[in-house]
């Protein structure tokens, strides 16, 4: 089940990243998917992956905040 969860959140990350140009809401969805991926990393025992995905989520949240403020 953990592998299925990990594959799902990484797939969502790729999808939302590809759609970011369409709306700032896809950037927010990407940030949430990154958090899901970070959770997977920590649950799987690969803490470096979890840390990197957590930071990536913060970067995406900041990007969403800036984009959303412009809209």
Question: How many angstroms separate the CA atoms of 37 and 47, rounded?
Answer: 11
Local structure of 23: helix, strand or coil:
coil
Q: What is the pLDDT of residues 21-57, one digit of tens each?
A: 999 999 999 999 999 999 999 999 999 999 999 999 9
Q: Looking at residue 3, what is its pLDDT?
A: 92
Distance of alpha carbon 52 from the chain centroid: 11
The answer, as to whether pTM is greater than 0.85, is: yes
- Residue of 53, 34, 55, 38 whose CA lies nearest to 26: 34
């Amino acid at each position: 089940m953990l592998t299925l969860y990990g594959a799902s959140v990484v797939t969502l990350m790729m999808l939302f990243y590809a759609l970011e140009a369409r709306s700032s809401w896809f950037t927010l969805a990407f940030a949430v998917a990154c958090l899901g991926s970070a959770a997977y990393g920590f649950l799987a025992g690969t803490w470096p992956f979890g840390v990197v995905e957590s930071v990536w989520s913060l970067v995406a949240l900041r990007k969403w905040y800036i984009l959303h403020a412009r809209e």
